[in-house]
Amino acid sequence: MEDSRIAAPIGVNLDRFINAKEQHFSYATGELSQLLRDIALAGKVVNREINKAGLINIAGAIGTQNIQGEDQQKLDVLSNIRFIRALTKGGEVCAIISEEDEKVIETGSDSAKYIVAIDPLDGSSNIDVNVSIGTIFSIYRRLSVVNSPITNEDVLQKGTEQIAAGYILYGSSTMLVYTTGNGVNGFTYEPSLGEYFLSHHNMKLPNEGKIYSINEGSYNSFEQPVKEYINYCREHKYSGRYIGSLVADFHRNLLKGGIYIYPKTTTSPNGKLRLMYECNCLAFIAEQAGGIATDGVHRIMEIQPKELHQRTPFFVGSKSMVEKAKSYY
Ligand code: P6P
């Protein structure tokens, strides 16, 4: 037999991983697996559009604003369309909460069991300066019976009710990182094969870290406990690393240990980040990897949402660092 070493194994692709995991759940009927595949596929399309943005003039602002009053970038709008189309055609989702849409999007798949909350492209102000950006998503089970109208209770569920969450990081390489409540796994996209391959199995967030991510330009507007924690980090010679792109900062801290903080500020009295499609998603991943996520004091995933685009202060990362920050409150 030929020496098998000349054919290096290419590893486990996302499809095979999802199928293998599905077999662990006797009740799994394949819909969640299909939903994860739909998200992964849309991520491939968005990845392709991001990578050629500068060439075909889809970078930059389009002159409109989203519900948040933020200038919409062409790729924001394009990514939103791609994910909504993929989730709608996939048939597994009955409703979508998107950062780019004021109201809940009903897909028309009234017999579908799942609801997705998504930030199609976070960090979009970084698009035209070629800094990493990301898609962030959560998956919930609908509470109302199928083929009935979508209710507020369906779309305003606590983070503890998530059945899956993840992000796609469009960086020096494109990665899909997700959890279904049994640990966190990372897949690296191989464009030449059009496949995601398992590259980071059972990811763990180091309990300690020496990286803190916060926009210190807003220092003067922070609450006293936040200022005291920043001073603690400075005294202990931690490294300040703030890319200005949540998914990129979160991913680095997930791998190396660290804390990301977006606290209340005078301009963002409830914090800037959104509970449903940014904070809950990353909180679920952080917790599944051994970290924690709070609003400074309370567990993010215990917050009862009252509105779709609700904001919250966000402290996420290494358990001992988030707890240290909390000790100043
Ligand atoms: P600031 C991007 O707009 C974002 O939502 C996150 O990705 C990022 O961490 C944060 O806002 C940056 O906000 O106010 O520090 O520029």
Which one of 245, 260, 277 would you pick to mutate in the ligand 1 pocket, going by the greatest count of ligand atoms within 8 A of its CB? 245
Mean pLDDT for the stretch of residues 131-159: 96
pLDDT at residue 279 above 80?
yes
CA nearest neighbour of 95 among 136, 45, 139: 139
Q: What is the mean pLDDT of residues 51-75?
A: 72
Ligand 1 centre from 217 Cα, in Å? 12
CA separation for the pair 280, 299 (Å, rounded): 10
**Average pLDDT score over the chain:** 93
- What number does the ligand 1 atom closest to the CA of 243 have? 9
pTM to 2 decimal places: 0.94
> Is 76 a pocket residue for ligand 1 (Cβ < 6 Å)?
no
Residue 52 has pLDDT above 90, yes or no: no
Facing residues of 299 across strands?
294
Q: How far is the CA of 133 from the centre of ligand 1 (A)?
A: 11
Q: Assign a CATH topology to domain 10-200.
A: Fructose-1,6-Bisphosphatase; Chain A, domain 1 (3.30.540)
Residue 7 CA to ligand 1 center (angstroms) comes to 44
DSSP 276: I
Q: Ligand 1 centre from 60 Cα, in Å?
A: 17
If one compares 60 and 286, the residue with the highest pLDDT of the two is 286
| CA neighbor of 282 nearest in space, from 131, 183, 161, 179 | 179
Query: Which range among 41-50, 55-64, 164-173, 275-284 shows the weakest confidence by mean pLDDT?
Result: 55-64
Ligand 1 mutation pick, 124, 241, 262, max ligand atoms within 8 A of CB = 262
3-state class of 327 per DSSP? Answer: coil
User: Does ligand 1 have an atom closer than 6 angstroms to the CB of 126?
Assistant: no
Binned at pLDDT 50, 70 and 90, residue 64 comes out as: confident
Q: Which CATH architecture has domain 211-327?
A: 3-Layer(aba) Sandwich (3.40)
CA of 115 to the centre of ligand 1 (A): 25
50: nearest Cα among 139, 122, 137, 136: 122
- The overall longest dimension of the chain from CA atoms, in Å, is 70
Tokens standing for residue 296: 């400074």
Condensed to tens digits (0 to 9), the pLDDT of residues 94-133 reads 999 999 999 999 999 999 999 999 999 999 778 878 899 9
Tell me the mean pLDDT in the region 265-287: 97
Ligand 1 centroid to 251 CA: how many Å? 15
State pLDDT tens for residues 190-210: 999 999 999 999 999 999 999
Sequence letter at residue 76: D
Instruction: List the chain domain ranges.
Output: 10-200, 211-327
In this predicted structure, what is the pLDDT of residue 57? 66
* Cβ–ligand 1 contact at 251 (below 6 Å): no
pLDDT at residue 1 greater than cutoff 70:
no
